[in-house]
Chain A
Amino acid sequence: MNLGSEFTRYILFVPLVTLIIIGCYGLINSKNIFNALFSLDVIDTATISLFVLIAASSGMQTPITGLERYSNYADPYPQAIILTAIVIGFATQALLSAIALRLSRNNPLLRFRDMED
C-alpha cells in the first residue's frame, strides 16, 4: 500500500481521530474510576498510533541502512520517541490501578459520586 498519496493518509487519520474523540467522551462521562482509567488508555493508544502513522508518511520500510532493496524508509525519529511515551503510558496505568485497588477497600463500587463531596 502506498501511504504517500494525500487521500489515503486522510482516510487513515479518520479512525484515530474518532478513537481520540471516543476516549475523551468516555473520560468526561465516566461515572467510576475504572471507566476513566480505560478511557485514558484509549486516548493513549490513539496518540501512539498517530505518531506511528505520521512517521510512516514517508514510507513504510524498516529504517536499516546498507540494504539497497529498501528505497522508502519510515522516519525513525518519531518512532523512537513514541517508545518512551508507550512506557510512560503503561506506568500511568499501573499507578492508577494501584490507587484504584487501594481506594476500593472503602468504596468497593469505585464511583466518583461516593468519593467527591
Chain B
Amino acid sequence: MDINIILTCLIFLPVIVGFLGCLLPNKFFFVGVFTLLINSFLSLFGLLNGFNNSFTLINQGGILLSFDEFSLPLIFGTSVVFLITFSLRRKYFSHYFYQISLVLCSALSICFISKDLISIYIALELTGFCAFLLIADKNTDKSLFQSFQYLIGGGLAMLIYLIGVIQAFTYTGSFALDDLSLAPSTALCLIVAGLLTKSGIFLCGIWVPNIYTNASIQTSSILSGCVTCAGIAPISRMSQILIPISNSMIVIGVLSAILAAILAIFETDDGRTLGWSSVSQLGISILSPSYACLYVMQHGICKCLLFNTHNDNSDEKISNQRGTNDISILYCQDLIRLITFIIASLSITGFPFIAGFTTKTLLKYDLPPSAQLIVSTSALLTSAIYVKLIISNLNRFRRTYYKKIPSISIRSFISNDNFIFILCIILLISSSFLRSDLLKSIYFTNSLSALFIGGIFYLCVMGIEKNIESSNIRKTIDIIGAPFIVAAFLLANLTYFKL
C-alpha cells in the first residue's frame, strides 16, 4: 500500500475512534489511547530518523500535506499531552470529554501537516470548536462566558484570516503556503494576525490566562499543551520562506516574551501566572522558525505536567476523590507531584540535563547575536516566574504536612499516578542526552547563571507584587480589538519601519 495513504489514515484515525466512542464509550477509550500511542511512537521514530515526506492528496490541485521537521515534533507533543491527561485525569472526565479530545487531536494534526491556507483555516476552526466545548465543559457561568469570549474572538480572527487569504488569492492564483511570496503585504499581515490570535501570542493572546484559570484542570492542561501550538507550525513555515515576516516575528516575539513575563511576575494568582508564562514562552518560540516547533513541543509537555501537578485542586479536596484517606499514601502522592512540578519548572527555565535545556540552547544559538541578548533576558524573567511558583508550591506542601510527616513504606509509593509521573520525569531527563554535543560547560554556566540571577531578581521584587493592582484584562473588547491592532502594527512594520 502507498505510504501516503497510510500516513493520512493515521492522522484521521483519532476522529473515527472519537465518533465511534460516542456509541460505545468504555470500549473505545482504550482504542483511543492505543491510537495516541501509535501516533506518538511513529512521530518520535520519524523525528529521530529525519523523516521528510510531502505529497499532494488526490490529484493536482489537491491538499498539500507535509510530514517534516515542523509537523512531527508537534504531533508527538500533542499525542503525549493527550496521553498524560487521559491517564492522570480520567476520573474527572465528563461523558463526552475524551471523544472531543480525540477529534481535537486530529484537527491539530491536520493543522500541523497541511501546507495550504484553506486546510489550515478549516483545521483551525475545528480546533476552535473543540476547545470551546472543552472550556464550556466545566459548566459554570464564568467558564461559559470565557468560552463565549474565546469563540467570538477566534471567529473574528479567522474572518480576518479569510479576508487576507482571498486577497492573496487574487495576486497568486492559488491557496498554497509556498506561493505567498507573491502576495501583497496587507494580505500577509491579515493572515499572520489571524494565526497569532489562535496561537495566543501577546496582545492577541490575552484570552490565555483568563481561560486557564476558569477552565477545569484537564482542559487547561490540554489547551496549554497543544491548542496554542496550532498556529505555530504555519507561522514558522511562513517565516522560513518570507524574510519580512520573519523579521516582524522577531519584534512581536520579543514584545510577547518580555511583556508577558513581566505581567506574570506581578500576578498574584498562580493559574494566571502560568497562563502569562505560556504567552511569554510562545513569544520566544516564534523568534527562530527552524526550532520553533521543537521548543513549543517541550514547553507544551512541561506545561501539561505543571497544570496536572499544580496542587491547588480545590475540587479534589472537597469531594476527596483520591480514593483513600491513608495519610502516608497521600503524602507520597503529594511528594511525587511536588518533585514533578519542580522538574517541569526547571525544564522550562532551561536547567542542564533536562529536556528544556536542549531546546533552549538550540533556539538561542540559531538566532543572530543581537537577538541572543533578548533570549537571555527573557530566560532570566522566566526563571524569576518559576522560582516564584516553586516557592509558593513548596510553602503549600510544607503547610499541609507541618509536623505530621508520616512513616513511608515502599508500598505507599505504588499507584498509577506516581508511576506516570516518574515515567515523565525519566523521559524529560533522558531526552536531554539525545543531543550530547550540546552538553558543554559554557552552556551550563549560561543557563545556571540565568537561573541564579532570576532567583535573586524575584527575591528583590517579591514584596512589590502584593501592592501592585494586577492588570485584569478580562473585557471582551480587548480580545476583539487585539487582532486589529496587531494587523495594523504588522502592516506598518512591513511597509514603513522594516524593523
Contacting pair A92 B480 (CB below 8 A):
no
Contacting pair A103 B141 (CB below 8 A):
yes
> Bound state CA distance, A6 and B118, in angstroms?
27
> Bound state CA distance, A54 and B166, in angstroms?
8
Q: Which residues of A contact B136 (CB under 8 A)?
A: 99
Contacting pair A28 B175 (CB below 8 A):
no
Contacting pair A81 B156 (CB below 8 A):
no
Chain B residues bordering chain A, tally (CB within 8 A): 31
Find the residue from B144, B151, B155, B175 having the highest chain A CB count within 10 A. Answer: B155
Contacting pair B151 A92 (CB below 8 A):
yes
| Chain A 37-92 interface residues, beta-carbon cutoff 8 Å to B | 37, 40, 43-44, 47, 50-51, 54, 57, 77-78, 81, 84-85, 88-89, 91-92
Q: Which residues of B contact A24 (CB under 8 A)?
A: 484
Q: Which residues of B contact A51 (CB under 8 A)?
A: 162, 166
The A interface, classified by DSSP as helix, strand, loop or mixed, is: helix
Closest to B146 in A: A115
Q: Which residues of B contact A43 (CB under 8 A)?
A: 156, 159
CB distance from B492 to the nearest CB of A (A): 19
Which of A33, A54, A100 lies in contact with B170, CB distance below 8 A? A54
| Chain B 365-416 interface residues, beta-carbon cutoff 8 Å to A | none
Q: Which residues of B contact A5 (CB under 8 A)?
A: none
| Chain A 15-41 interface residues, beta-carbon cutoff 8 Å to B | 20, 24, 27-28, 33, 36-37, 40
Contacting pair B474 A117 (CB below 8 A):
yes
Q: Which residues of A contact B155 (CB under 8 A)?
A: 40, 44, 89, 92, 96
CB distance from A27 to the nearest CB of B (A): 6
CB distance from B127 to the nearest CB of A (A): 12
Q: Which residues of A contact B175 (CB under 8 A)?
A: 77, 81
A106 at interface, CB cutoff 8 A: yes
Q: Which residues of A contact B475 (CB under 8 A)?
A: 112, 116
CB distance from B172 to the nearest CB of A (A): 12
A11 at interface, CB cutoff 8 A: no
B12 at interface, CB cutoff 8 A: no
Q: Which residues of A contact B444 (CB under 8 A)?
A: none
Closest to A53 in B: B166
Contacting pair A116 B476 (CB below 8 A):
yes
Contacting pair B163 A50 (CB below 8 A):
yes
> Bound state CA distance, A112 and B145, in angstroms?
9
Find the residue from A20, A44, A81, A102 having the highest chain B CB count within 10 A. Answer: A81
Contacting pair A112 B163 (CB below 8 A):
no
B489 at interface, CB cutoff 8 A: no
Q: Which residues of A contact B148 (CB under 8 A)?
A: 33, 96, 99-100, 103
Contacting pair B141 A115 (CB below 8 A):
yes
Q: Which residues of B contact A28 (CB under 8 A)?
A: 477, 480-481
> Bound state CA distance, A47 and B121, in angstroms?
14
| Chain B 409-426 interface residues, beta-carbon cutoff 8 Å to A | none
| Chain B 131-157 interface residues, beta-carbon cutoff 8 Å to A | 132, 136, 141, 144-145, 147-148, 151-152, 155-156
CB distance from B305 to the nearest CB of A (A): 30
A95 at interface, CB cutoff 8 A: yes
Contacting pair A47 B151 (CB below 8 A):
no
Contacting pair B141 A40 (CB below 8 A):
no
Find the residue from B144, B147, B148 having the highest chain A CB count within 10 A. Answer: B148
B179 at interface, CB cutoff 8 A: no
B353 at interface, CB cutoff 8 A: no
Which of A54, A77, A96 lies in contact with B152, CB distance below 8 A? A96
B122 at interface, CB cutoff 8 A: yes
Contacting pair B144 A102 (CB below 8 A):
yes
> Bound state CA distance, A102 and B141, in angstroms?
9
B457 at interface, CB cutoff 8 A: no
Find the residue from A84, A92, A96 having the highest chain B CB count within 10 A. Answer: A92
CB distance from B248 to the nearest CB of A (A): 23
Find the residue from A24, A33, A95, A96 having the highest chain B CB count within 10 A. Answer: A95
B residues sitting closer than 8 Å to A (CB atoms) are 61, 118, 121-122, 125, 129, 132, 136, 141, 144-145, 147-148, 151-152, 155-156, 159, 162-163, 166, 169-170, 175, 474-477, 480-481, 484
